[in-house]
Amino acid sequence: MRTGAAVVVEGDRIAQILPADQAEGIDARRIELTDKVLLPGLVNMHTHAGAGPVGRAVSEDYELPTGMPFYVPLSRLWRHAYRDELREQFRAVIEWDVLGMMRTGTTTILNHASTDIEGYLHIADRVGVRTFAGPTIPLDVTARLGQLSGGREDRKQTTSEEVQLAELEELERMFGEWDGAAGGRITMVLGPAAVHTDEFSVLAGVGVAAKRLDCLVTTHLCQAPSELAATQERFGTTPLRVLQRAELANERLIAAHGTYLPDGDRQLAADSGITIVHCASRKAKEAVISPSVSFQDSGISIALGTDGFNCDMVEELKFAAMLGKIAVAQSHRPTAAEVLDLATSRAASILRRPDLGVIKEGARADLIGVAVTDPSIAPVLDVVQSLVYYGNGRDVQFEMVDGRVLIQDGAFLDVDLDGVRARAEAALTSIWESAIDAGVIAEVLPSINRTRPFA
Ligand SMILES: [Zn+2]
């Protein structure tokens, strides 16, 4: 850590890092970050913006079969939320979620969009966050989650091959419009939902398109035992081997979870260069710790993500460090510095953006300032250990992306937060009320009866 330094930002880049007294003569706007620590902005490598607020604090304590994602009982609730007629209204919920991520230190979001990618891209453009984004293929939430629900035939709907191929074609068209937009803050990615929900022709089509477009690909991989069983039944092999057949098992691939990756596929995961995104707090709700530290020991590339619900990447660092120690029964690893590296410079390298995730001359000015004076965190002898073990995202008081100040003194500068909150509340209330009227919630979660949780 360096003290008494000045970071000189010109345009969207860090131009110089100087001792503070040498910066006094520079003609520039000054932002004093007294009692704050300046860090590179955090990178959330897996989320579905908008999904979390719909179903936060609903099914976390639900009794589930081993390995079932805790939100699967909510699939019908999302189907309500993602209805076409609510599209405009729902954009406030997406924005609310994006602001939650930004407020807690995230400057780059990899959004595997589960609804309305265009709405999301307009929001990212406006609020100033950096994003890598693409919609899930198939987009239909019932088809995606029904496959994981284990046994209920009426939920095992699928999206036809024709529809999935049309979604891929539409996405390729969107690259022309959005890839590199907002001064390079927006990068498009391809996002097949998972091997067991996608037609093989679509996976192979994504493989071809990824090479042609030279883009990254994101997906879900081995997140539940039911996914492995369904893949075995359809393809006679494991999800990663299917991705290999589709020419997707390579450095472009950023795959969420990997929790149930068979041991026999570890070498392939390491040799192929894919990245597995560890979503520690999401999995903890299912009483599961993904083997991320042992994956690293096997030479597999790892990143960190929230997978929605929790939007706070600082909390995610804490979960990754603490649960990582429990998983390997060793108190000295992973260290706070190692998990922070995963969410900054390592993530940047996976995203093929060495200009992100570091504070150095020439890098993009994506920065956060963390307050370190609160009695709950001070004294701060080792900044990184203090942040990871004793801080949380609400300690982030300053945020800048591409040289633009977005948050100062803990408040957004260019966002009407109260207005977004009012619109998000209205949208969510109408979603919850109609879901209750339709019997969706009573059927899966009879204890939920509150529809105005913002009040
Ligand atoms: Zn996910």
> What's the CA-to-centroid distance between 329 and ligand 1, angstroms?
27
Q: How many CB atoms lie within 10 A of CB 100?
A: 18
Query: What angle (nearest 5°) sits at the alpha carbon of residue 191, between those of residues 188 and 196?
Result: 175
Cα 223 to middle of ligand 1, angstroms: 9
Strand order in the sheet with 411-412: 36-40, 367-371, 396-401, 404-408, 411-412
Dist. CA 123–CA 128, nearest whole Å: 8
The reported pLDDT for the residue numbered 152 is: 47
The pLDDT of residue 150 is above 80: no
Question: Residue 151: pLDDT above 50?
Answer: no
Tokens of 387: 């942040």
pLDDT of res. 303: 98
Ligand 1 centre to CA of 436 (Å) is 25
Cα→Cα distances 330→185, 293, 309, 343, Å: 39, 11, 29, 21
CA of 307 to the centre of ligand 1 (A): 5
Residues 309/379, Cβ–Cβ less than 8 Å:
no
CA 254–ligand 1 middle distance (angstroms): 11
Query: Ligand 1 centroid vs 193 CA: distance in angstroms?
Result: 8
Cβ neighbour number for residue 380 with a 10 Å cutoff = 18
Query: Which residues line ion ligand 1, judged by CB < 5 Å?
Result: 256, 307
Query: What distance in angstroms lies between residue 220's CA and the mean position of ligand 1's atoms?
Result: 6
Give tens-digit pLDDT for 72-117.
777 778 888 998 999 999 999 999 999 999 999 999 999 999 999 9
Picking from 270, 277, 238, the residue whose alpha carbon sits closest to that of residue 254 is: 277
Residue 154 pLDDT level (bands cut at 50, 70, 90) = very low
Centre of ligand 1 from the C-alpha of residue 211, in Å: 24
What pLDDT score was predicted for residue 142? 66
Which residues, listed in sequence order, are joined to residue 133 by a DSSP beta bridge? Answer: 111, 188
Centre of ligand 1 to C-alpha 256, Å, is 6
Whether residue 237 has pLDDT greater than 90: yes
- Contact status, residue 175 vs residue 188, Cβ threshold 8 Å: yes
Most confident of 20-29, 47-56, 400-409, 435-444: 400-409
Q: Which CATH class is domain 39-364?
A: alpha beta
More confident: 191 or 159: 191
Instruction: Tell me how far the alpha carbon of residue 400 lies from the centroid of ligand 1, in angstroms.
Output: 27
Contact assessment for residue 113 and residue 48, using Cβ atoms and an 8 Å cutoff = yes
Q: How far apart are CA 52 and CA 57, in angstroms?
A: 9
CA 51–ligand 1 middle distance (angstroms)? 10
Residue partners of 34: CB distance under 8 A and separation at least 6? none
Q: Residue ranges of the domains in the chain? A: 39-364
3-state secondary structure 390-402: HCCHHHEEEEEEC
